[in-house]
Structure 1
Amino acid sequence: MMRRLIEPGDGFKNLKQDFKCESRNIFAALTSMVFVLAGAIPMLSSVAVSAGMTSAQAASFVMCSMAIGGLISIFASIYYRTPFYFAGSLTAIVVLKPMFEQFTLPEMVGGFVIAGTALFLVGYTGMIGWISRYLPLPVILGMVAGVFMSYGLGIVSSIASDPLSGTLIAGAFVAFPLLTKKVPPHIIALAVGIGCAVFFHSTAAGGSAGSYGLSLPVLTGPDFNGNILLTVSLPLVIMAVADVFKGYGVLKANGCDLSLNSVTVLSGLGSVLAAFGLGHTISLAGPVMAILAGEDAGKRERRFAGAVIYCGGVLVICVLSGILIPFIMRLPGTIIDLICGIAMTGLLVSSLQGAFGAGNFQMGALAAFLIGLSKVSLLGIGAPVWAIVFGWIVTLCMENGQWREMIAQGRPEKRQRAGRHPSSKERPSINENGVS
């Protein structure tokens, strides 16, 4: 019996009746845009600059990392009536810089294709269920917190390097909520950062970074070799799987549900498509989904409308990335680092809470955090992979009782319920082994 590619959802029937947009849906969508303008685009631009990409390649890198995910998000949000957002993994961005320095663009594309294919197989075969059963989430989040901590430290170093601009940007972010909580402080920090670049760094912000225009994908053929499998593909798969689990936790915390198999399959398919335009692995974007699926985003059954509106805006930004990227690439590095660090504060807090807040697997999470923070590389394999490996080993040795209890609570019948997507009608479910 053939497996389903993705689990059935509510589909596209009665969409006109169900798609009722509220003001809170629109506000959630606009708030989420902050993470694109102040977070994702500067972070992607920073990687593009370090990789020596042209403006056209950088725009394609941004567009394919985000636009493919936006299209998949619109489909999944409508099909499952759940606020999804797939995008180029922010976790993976952290480890991309040294990869681009070590390999050529065609080799990176080859690594992206392998990673996307592996993601698809992990979801299609039900392997994601095995991972969810045996790998403690605090260990994954400890790794994420350690790897992302460099962005938090970047806030401090940027202020020390550029005290005037740094103080104004960070001060605006911290103090603006005292005036009003209706406008996200991230967007104020972004506006102040652009102002500082114009008024205090006019020379650095001037000049030409390339041609302006609408963005089009720059197709690049893959080049495969043995080194990219462990150095590029494996870390990206682990990052993407970690993002899937984070997104799963966000939706569960807000009363939503999803099939881990279906999400991973969609991530894999999107990653393969994006790879040929220099886009890296696509997965669930936890910080944005936390906004789109939160209580402030409106009634639960209507929150998917905010995700659809947001993803439509993302597609517009992607088309205009050929205009935005040359400008952002001219911003001073200290300002970009500071804005990126501020954009990641929420993710740092949630990762640290997930790693150490529950009280379980703290030693394994600590080991993963420290190794992720160290940026150590052994045998050509980066710190994120070793953080997961040694964090899991520490858990097996020092927290074996907690690990066995976690496995005992993850019996097949419970995992089957976790893999189901609720709808208004009962329908056959697919457990994590892919059995109908």
Structure 2
Amino acid sequence: MGGRDCFRLVPLGAVPLHIAVASQLGPTADQSSSWIFIIWTSGAVASIALSVYYRMPEPITWSIPGLIYLGTLAGEFTFAEISAANLVPGVLILVLGILGGGGKIIRWLPLPIVMGMFAGSIFSYVTRLIDVTVGNFAVAGPAVGGYLLGRLIGNPRVPPVGLAVLIDGQATSEAMSWSLPSLPVPSMSFPVSSIIAISLPMVVLALWFGNIQ
């Protein structure tokens, strides 16, 4: 993926997705801004440091499939449980990377199983999109139509998501206040149920899609 593609993907795809999932999980405004700030800043710093060290692009970022999977768990676990369950796979992936065990896990897990996990995690988003489009066509219809038009055009200079925003006209020019995030430390809870339901799938999704996307 080139620099221009990344520039279009981040503001029109990755950032809105991150904000949407954060709002679903129920954190406070300070927790949401802290989460988003830490994810993007730490990824940028790590990417620059590794790229300079290895003298080649080494992007470090979060997992979009993993984030989508988290969104499907909204209401099933508390934010403290989700925070803790995200810390566990981060530590596991770091250890696997140091020990060189990530490649072995990828070879053991067939790709169809991983793709099935991802397909199941996004299925609720697809059905929700249909419900919203049918139930409130005046608002959602133009956005869906703009996205489909962008896909039909097939020009990388015309991102479908950006076209959907322009056609839908939902972007607002209202005044916004800017401030640095407060970076609160979230409370964490480590029940076994959340570790099994969140941590293990996150490891699989991050390892597989992080290596093939």
Is the shorter-chain TM-score for this pair beyond 0.5, marking a shared fold? yes
Cα distance, 1:180 vs structure 2? 6.0
TM-score (norm 2): 0.79
SS in 1 for 2:199: helix
- AA aligned opposite 1:169: A
Distance 1:169 1:88 in 2: 26
Q: Does 1:138 align with 2:112?
A: yes
Q: Does 1:186 align with 2:161?
A: yes
Residue number in structure 2 paired with 1:62: 36
Residue number in structure 2 paired with 1:215: 181
Residue number in structure 1 paired with 2:68: 94
> Which of these residues, 227, 234, 238, is aligned with residue 200 of structure 2?
234
Cα distance, 1:198 vs structure 2? 4.9
Residue number in structure 2 paired with 1:196: 170
Identity of aligned residues (%): 26
- AA aligned opposite 2:188: P
Distance 2:177 2:165 in 1: 24
Distance 2:147 2:21 in 1: 24
Distance 2:54 2:135 in 1: 47
Distance 1:211 1:222 in 2: 30
Conservation of the 8 A alpha-carbon contact between 1:31 and 1:184: no
- AA aligned opposite 1:165: V
Distance 1:113 1:239 in 2: 15
Q: What aligned pairs does 1:7-22 form with structure 2 within 5 A after superposition?
A: none
Residue number in structure 2 paired with 1:164: 138
Distance 2:201 2:93 in 1: 12
Q: Bigger shift: 178-187 or 212-221?
A: 178-187
Conservation of the 8 A alpha-carbon contact between 1:55 and 1:211: no
Count of equivalent residues: 212
Conservation of the 8 A alpha-carbon contact between 2:31 and 2:186: no
Query: Structure 1 190/230 Cα, relative in aligned 2: closer, same or farther at 3 Å?
Result: same
TM-score (norm 1): 0.42
Cα distance, 1:145 vs structure 2? 3.0
Residue number in structure 1 paired with 2:81: 107
Query: Structure 1 175/226 Cα, relative in aligned 2: closer, same or farther at 3 Å?
Result: closer
Q: What aligned pairs does 1:15-34 form with structure 2 within 5 A after superposition?
A: 28-34=2-8
Distance 1:106 1:172 in 2: 38
Residue number in structure 1 paired with 2:45: 71
Distance 1:245 1:86 in 2: 11
Q: Bigger shift: 130-139 or 53-62?
A: 130-139
Q: Does 1:40 align with 2:21?
A: no
Q: What aligned pairs does 1:180-329 form with structure 2 within 5 A after superposition?
A: 182-193=157-168, 195-196=169-170, 198=172, 212-246=178-212, 286=213
Show structure 1 runs of 5+ residues with no match: 1-24, 200-205, 247-285, 287-436
Query: Structure 1 80/58 Cα, relative in aligned 2: closer, same or farther at 3 Å?
Result: same
Distance 1:152 1:83 in 2: 34
Distance 1:186 1:119 in 2: 32
Greater C-alpha Rg: 1
Distance 1:179 1:49 in 2: 31
Distance 1:95 1:84 in 2: 25
Show structure 2 runs of 5+ residues with no match: none
SS in 1 for 2:75: helix
Query: Structure 1 170/120 Cα, relative in aligned 2: closer, same or farther at 3 Å?
Result: same
Q: How well do the aligned residues superpose, as a CA RMSD in angstroms? A: 3.2
SS in 2 for 1:68: helix
Residue number in structure 1 paired with 2:103: 129
Query: Structure 1 54/245 Cα, relative in aligned 2: closer, same or farther at 3 Å?
Result: same
